[in-house]
Chains A and B, each alone.
Chain A
Amino acid sequence: MVCDFFHPNIGGVENHIYILSVNLLRRGHKVVAVTHSYPDSRVGIRWLAPGIKVYHVPLRVLVSNATLPNYLTFLPWLRDIVLRERITIIHGHASLSSFAQEAILHSHLFGSGFESMFGWWRRNGEQEESREIRTVFTDHSLFALDDATGILTNKLLAAALNNVDAVICVSHTARENTVLRAQIDPRTAYVIPSAVIAEQFKPPPKPLSTDTITIVVISRLAYRKGVDLLVASAPRICALFPQVQFLVGGSGPKLINLLQMREAHRLQDRITLLGAVDHHDVRNVLVQGHIYLNTSLTESFGIGLLEAACTGCFIVSTRVGGVPEVLPKDMIEFAMPNEDDVVRALRKAIAIVTAGKHDPYRAHERAKSMYTWEDVTKRTETVYADIVKKRPTDLWTRMHRTLRLGPFAGLIYFIILLVECLFFLFLEWVCPRDQIHYVEEDWTMESFKQV
């Protein structure tokens, strides 16, 4: 698993990678994670329970936990890790992670195809079986195609995914978005949603009383999360329904707007602002609510909705991105991203909850059965099995495909490809393979259980 975003950083992508790795480990695979180092001495090799080896590569972080895209300085580290651990599949995550994209670009160098063309390092007399490194990429978010950042980053993504073996997207909308952005063959894109650990999100032991209805909002308070809609609709709902309370968790640049709205309408006792909520506290906040409100303006999957549904909340969300695909219609009420419709949806939700038509325990059972990590892991394994069966692309095909990227980008990436091959040959000469410390024994679940 290669990604800039991994623990000790907390976030959706990080959690996803970690839990997926744990489940793959449980099914007997060997999982190694590669991420960047953290300044206060978190460099080198760490172990995460229950047996995931994490390599923290000492490359500088640029902004928001992503490293600077440098196509060649990552190569020596990657080569060392891939050879030592005898990696067969490289799985990159997150479009904004330059590690993931570079790992996918470099993957072809380690295969026997490349070796057969240039490999003087192949030990004499040894018949190596055809061993290629396959690549998978998981894309977690949606991006626009028509603004300036979109146009540039989509080209980078298209170059990285030019020769990838499979792409996993978390929703059908995300798949369409990724296929368009990266111009890949849609049949290489798989739709595997994320999942939630149901045991961590159990509903409250006793049902909440419907004398006061609590509406919970947990999100980063930024423009993209639709805080403006919340700010506009909350006073109206509070005026229409005197029994409604709001509970808002999370912080961000738009916290000011919420505070101002609260001051202006004198709703200090109706709207509670919790500030930033730690991940392990999220469940405790969610169980206090009858309704979960999500006003995001764009959402590829919406894991927060799933967590809230698991905890037994009734969901009200804006109908954007991949949200319509996540839950069946009787567990969620949709709203168009305008203030009037959000108010309408909230009224309907409050009516449903007050009438007792929503059963939190049944919602928990349903959500539990719809999205399980076992299912996600099995489907991911199917993807791995599929790609191992495919024929690898050799260097000439790869070069042709790179040149097809476009008049400028194609040429630039072709040059990068050539330099990368030369650099790799140089590395083979400077750090020969027989001097690498191969990892002989790995952690398995049995050894972990013994310990």
Chain B
Amino acid sequence: MDSTRQHSPTDDKNWERVLWRRLPYPDNYVPPRRFLESLRKNANFTPYTYSPMVVATTSVCQHIANIFTFLSVFIRLKERKSDPRYIIWISILLFVIGYASWEALFFFQGSPLRKDSRSRVMRSAILVFLALLALAPVLRTLTEATSSDSIWALSFSLFALHTLLADYTAPLPHDSHERLTSVLSMNAAISASVVLASRLDSDLSVFALILFALQVFALFPLLRRQLHYAPTAVRLGLTLLLSTTSVVLMSEHSHMVGWIVSLILIFINFVSPAVMVWAQREIRGEWDVAVPVVGGS
């Protein structure tokens, strides 16, 4: 045992990183130069810079602006400031414009959609339209027994879930497989809108709101994801358009809410990337789980 105490602690010439041989050092010897030699801080590190992050955050901003636009439409319908038929026509118009943009996008990307997909889309759109028309009376009485306060709370949490789980990544061209969380997020948004719609008075307004919700939460996010590949100006322009729409619509009801909405949007889009850029670090070493590379040459 004395042979383990031969060397002075500062002399690590004979220290080796092996276990199969007894080294002439005590077990808790810390080699001054070689301890943590494999530690690499910030190795694979391309730090996030501010401007690309702001552009990337516009997706989140668009989502939130969408939610507020929807809420303002809901309030209008509830307070009977707008005619439900007007909303229905807007929804249909949005659908047509949206589908045309979808086709145009794919066309410009070089992989135009097939002819039968168009007929499929038209068929399912009409089916959904009719199904909603039939279901609207049922949905109106969905939450009769619940008080309004719980409805507001429920819809808030569902919209929060929708924002958190939404898929903000760019879609891969060959992989159109939806992630579970994005399906969940769409479900959360639709549930929130159904729950809110059940507070309305007439069947027609219920139908209008849910149709609008479908456009805004189910179909529009798909289009927005495809816009990831569009030039930055388009993305920024769209974000600006959506944000101003939501702020203007909300301000009609209450100025304070308009201010709050604009503050939220500015915070998310400009302040949080700054915080993120400030807080970056990375720490790696030998102990990390290796990433297997299969399917080589």
Q: Is the CB of B296 within 8 A of A340?
A: yes
Chain B residues positioned under 8 Å from A228 (CB to CB): 292, 294
Q: Is the CB of A190 within 8 A of B27?
A: yes
The smallest C-beta distance from A120 to any residue of chain B, in angstroms, reads 39
The smallest C-beta distance from B276 to any residue of chain A, in angstroms, reads 16
Chain A residues positioned under 8 Å from B20 (CB to CB): 325-328, 370-371
The 8 A CB mask of B33-59 against A (1 = contact, 0 = none) is 001101100000000000000000000
Chain B residues positioned under 8 Å from A191 (CB to CB): 19, 27-28
The 8 A CB mask of A299-318 against B (1 = contact, 0 = none) is 01100000000000000001
The 8 A CB mask of B145-174 against A (1 = contact, 0 = none) is 000000000000000000000000000000
Q: Which residues of B254-286 have CB atoms within 8 Å of chain A's CB atoms?
A: 282-286
Q: Is the CB of B294 within 8 A of A229?
A: yes
Q: Which residues of A157-177 have CB atoms within 8 Å of chain B's CB atoms?
A: 166, 171-174, 176-177
The smallest C-beta distance from A55 to any residue of chain B, in angstroms, reads 29
The smallest C-beta distance from B35 to any residue of chain A, in angstroms, reads 6
Give the dominant DSSP class at B's interface.
loop
Q: Is the CB of B292 within 8 A of A176?
A: no
The smallest C-beta distance from B18 to any residue of chain A, in angstroms, reads 5
Q: How large is the interface on B (under 10, 10 to 19, 20 to 34, 35 or more residues)?
A: 20 to 34
Check: B291 CB closer than 8 A to any chain A CB.
Answer: yes
The smallest C-beta distance from B266 to any residue of chain A, in angstroms, reads 29
Chain B residues positioned under 8 Å from A322 (CB to CB): 19
Q: Is the CB of B290 within 8 A of A318?
A: yes
Number of interface residues of A (CB under 8 A): 54
Check: A409 CB closer than 8 A to any chain B CB.
Answer: no
Closest to B297 in A: A340
Q: Which residues of B74-124 have CB atoms within 8 Å of chain A's CB atoms?
A: none
Check: A186 CB closer than 8 A to any chain B CB.
Answer: yes
Q: Is the CB of B285 within 8 A of A298?
A: no
Inter-chain CA distance A55–B18, complex, in Å, is 37
Q: Is the CB of B17 within 8 A of A297?
A: no
The smallest C-beta distance from B34 to any residue of chain A, in angstroms, reads 9
Q: Is the CB of A188 within 8 A of B36?
A: no
The smallest C-beta distance from A345 to any residue of chain B, in angstroms, reads 14
Q: Is the CB of B27 within 8 A of A298?
A: no
* Apart from A144-B288, A340-B297: 13 A-B pairs, beta carbons within 8 A: A166-B28, A172-B17, A176-B35, A177-B287, A191-B19, A229-B294, A232-B295, A298-B287, A298-B288, A300-B287, A338-B293, A371-B20, A382-B1
Ordered nearest first, which 8 A-B pairs have the shortest CB separation? Answer: A338-B293, A232-B294, A337-B290, A177-B287, A190-B27, A370-B20, A142-B287, A298-B289
